[in-house]
């Protein structure tokens, strides 16, 4: 975690910003979970945490810090649609994966498919494109919601 915090501090400095105790607590909170979380869920978690309570972290600070973390490549934002909004997950130290998102219940299934990766790489090469990253989000209805 210290390495991630140092990288985040370096990123903030490149934007003439500081790593405040509030930003550090938000970083630690998002990296403490291996789930997809909304900004509001993260804010609520911080409000319940004894250490974070004393820092008086506002909802706006959570949203602004999440935006910085996305910009710096520390977390990924996943817009899962109308009723479910945007969720966040940390990406450093995680292997690449894609998402299937149920538009009914909001369930997220993470998956990796080597065949898809090969097809994407071929398409990129065919077009002479230099890819730095990619995301695949498949939207539909999960098995459980199909049976309802």
Q: The domain that contains 37 carries what CATH number?
A: 1.10.10.10
Q: Are residues 101 and 80 in the same domain?
A: no
Q: Are residues 28 and 77 in the same domain?
A: yes
Residues in the chain predicted with pLDDT less than 50, given as ranges, are: none
Beta-bridge partners for 75: 90
116 touches 96 (CB < 8 A): no
Domain span including residue 80? 1-92
Looking at residue 53, what is its pLDDT? 76
Looking at residue 116, what is its pLDDT? 93
Q: Are residues 107 and 48 in the same domain?
A: no
Q: Are residues 67 and 118 in the same domain?
A: no
Count how many domains the chain has. Answer: 2
Mutual angle of helices 59-71 and 39-48, in 10-degree steps? 120
In this prediction the pTM is 0.82
Looking at residue 95, what is its pLDDT? 80
Q: Are residues 54 and 2 in the same domain?
A: yes
148 touches 109 (CB < 8 A): no
Q: Are residues 22 and 42 in the same domain?
A: yes
Q: 90 in helix, strand or coil? A: strand
104 touches 142 (CB < 8 A): yes
Looking at residue 128, what is its pLDDT? 96
- Give the CA angle between residues 117, 122, 124 to the nearest 5°: 95
Taking the C-alpha atoms of residue 124 and residue 134, their distance in angstroms, rounded to an integer, is 11
88 touches 82 (CB < 8 A): no
Q: Are residues 141 and 124 in the same domain?
A: yes
Task: Report the DSSP pairing between strands 137-140 and 98-102.
Answer: parallel
Q: What CATH number should be reported for the domain holding residue 144?
A: 3.30.1490.190
Q: Are residues 86 and 100 in the same domain?
A: no
């Amino acid at each position: 975690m210290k390495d991630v915090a140092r990288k985040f501090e370096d990123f903030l400095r490149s934007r003439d910003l500081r790593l405040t105790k509030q930003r550090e607590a938000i970083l630690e909170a998002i990296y403490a979970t291996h789930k997809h979380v909304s900004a509001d869920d993260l804010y609520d978690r911080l409000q319940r945490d004894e250490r974070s309570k004393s820092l008086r972290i506002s909802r706006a600070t959570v949203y602004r810090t999440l935006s910085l973390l996305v910009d710096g490549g520390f977390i990924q934002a996943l817009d899962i649609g109308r009723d479910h909004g945007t969720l966040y997950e940390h990406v450093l130290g995680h292997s690449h994966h894609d998402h299937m998102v149920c538009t009914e219940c909001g369930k997220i299934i993470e998956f990796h498919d080597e065949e898809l990766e090969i097809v994407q790489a071929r398409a990129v090469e065919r077009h002479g494109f230099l890819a730095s990253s990619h995301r695949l989000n498949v939207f539909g209805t999960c098995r459980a919601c199909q049976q309802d």
